[in-house]
């Protein structure tokens, strides 16, 4: 059974301690910040766009969206009140952002309200992703753009590999699935968007690779998020494996790579 001492969980999103989770999410945002800026730039969106940030969490990416769409406005929603409060505090100086508590599958927004919707690493925690995508389509303006980025644990390549690591990742994915999530959603994004009624969807693959010392902190970013879904014995085993991998990376004998999937859909 997974760890029963979770500090909190919503849908399939869970963590052990909020302070360590905030550190991990901050590292995650920093590691992906340049890629996300490039992604937004390639979409050629108007700086005056009205934007929905679906699943803002503690608001690490909200500032990037607010700056990129400086002449527009951003509505940032999350289901967790505690994370919303952190997001509000972190982004208190932003004038073009409104924070709201919201459920992806029942958005309290009018039809065709937004030019751009960004859902980052959140759809994998939603029990009914097609229902959420249908709601995104409903509130997206005609000609608007949806971008969903998420993970797929089958894309992880590591050396030293270790059967234990594969088993632990599979256990964590299975337990997250029992809570309604999907750690393998990346490869499914195209089909899910099409099921939701988006007729023009493309999926991009964005590789993250560590060769040498892990200066970006990608090991904790990727693997510490699994600990909440494992029992204490399994947690220790995963921590030992990531420590050995980190040592190998520092010595020049290790390698780590994983993919971020980005589905871009037009209405």
Rounded distance between C-alpha atoms, residue 181 and residue 175, angstroms = 9
CA angle 97, 263, 171 (to 5 degrees): 100
What would the pLDDT profile of 139-176 be if each residue is shown by its tens digit? 999 999 999 999 999 999 999 987 778 899 999 999 99
3-state secondary structure string across the chain: CCCCCCCEEECCEEECCHHHHHHHHHHHHHHHHHHHHHHHHHCCCCCCCEEEEECCCCCCCHHHHHHHCCCCEEEEEECCHHHHHHHHHHCCCCCCEEEEECECCECCCCCCCEEEEEEECCHHHCCCHHHHHHHHHHHEEEEEEEEEEECCHHHCEEECCCHHHHHHHHHHHHHHHHCCCCCCCHHHHHHHHHHCCCCEEEEEEEEEEECCCCCCCHHHHHHHHHHHHCCHHHHHHHHHHHHHHHHHHHCCCCEEEEEEEEEEEEC
Say how far apart CA 64 and CA 253 lie, in whole Å. Answer: 35
Encode the chain (267 residues) as per-residue pLDDT tens digits.
334 433 444 567 777 677 788 788 878 888 888 889 999 999 999 999 999 999 999 999 999 999 999 999 999 999 999 999 999 999 999 999 999 999 999 999 999 999 999 999 999 999 999 999 999 999 999 999 999 999 999 999 999 987 778 899 999 999 999 999 999 999 999 999 999 999 899 999 999 999 998 888 888 888 888 899 999 999 999 999 999 999 999 999 999 999 999 999 999
Look at residue 239 in the predicted model and tell me its pLDDT: 92
Cβ(3)–Cβ(10) below 8 Å: no
The predicted structure's pLDDT at residue 11: 65
Question: What is the per-residue pLDDT for 6?
Answer: 38
pLDDT value, residue 3: 40
Q: How far is CA 99 from CA 136, 139, 201, in A?
A: 17, 17, 28
Give pLDDT, residue 263: 98
The CA distance from 109 to 74, in Å, is 13
Q: Where are the domains of the chain?
A: 8-266
Task: Note the maximum CA span of the chain.
Answer: 55
For residue 63, the model assigns a pLDDT of 94
Q: Rounded distance, CA 29 to CA 151, Å?
A: 14
Cβ–Cβ under 8 Å, residues 69 and 51 = yes
Q: In the prediction, which pLDDT does 2 show?
A: 38
CATH architecture assigned to 8-266: 3-Layer(aba) Sandwich (3.40)
Predicted pLDDT of residue 1: 37
**Tokens coding 186:** 């990346």
């Amino acid at each position: 059974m997974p760890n029963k001492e979770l500090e909190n969980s919503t849908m399939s999103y869970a963590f052990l301690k909020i302070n360590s989770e905030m550190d991990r999410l901050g590292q995650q945002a920093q590691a992906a910040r340049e890629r996300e800026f490039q992604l937004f730039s390639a979409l050629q969106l108007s700086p005056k766009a009205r934007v929905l940030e679906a699943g803002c969490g503690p608001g690490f990416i909200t500032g990037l969206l607010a700056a990129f769409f400086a002449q527009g406005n951003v509505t940032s929603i999350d289901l967790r009140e505690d994370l919303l409060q952190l997001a509000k505090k972190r982004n208190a100086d932003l004038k073009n952002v409104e924070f709201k508590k919201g459920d992806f599958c029942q958005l309290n927004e009018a039809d065709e309200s937004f030019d751009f919707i960004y859902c980052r690493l959140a759809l994998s925690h939603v029990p009914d992703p097609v229902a959420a995508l249908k709601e995104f389509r409903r509130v997206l303006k005609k000609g608007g753009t949806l971008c969903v980025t998420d993970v797929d644990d089958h894309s992880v390549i590591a050396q030293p590999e270790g059967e234990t690591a594969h088993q632990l990742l599979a256990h964590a994915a299975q337990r997250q699935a029992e809570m309604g999530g999907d750690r393998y959603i990346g490869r499914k994004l195209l089909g899910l968007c099409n099921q939701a009624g988006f007729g023009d969807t493309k999926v991009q693959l964005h590789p993250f690779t560590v060769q040498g010392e892990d200066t970006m902190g990608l090991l904790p970013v990727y693997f510490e998020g699994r600990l909440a879904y494992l029992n204490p014995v399994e947690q220790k085993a995963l921590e030992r494996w990531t420590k050995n991998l980190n040592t190998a990376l520092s010595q020049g004998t290790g390698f780590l790579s994983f993919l971020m999937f980005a589905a871009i859909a037009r209405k």
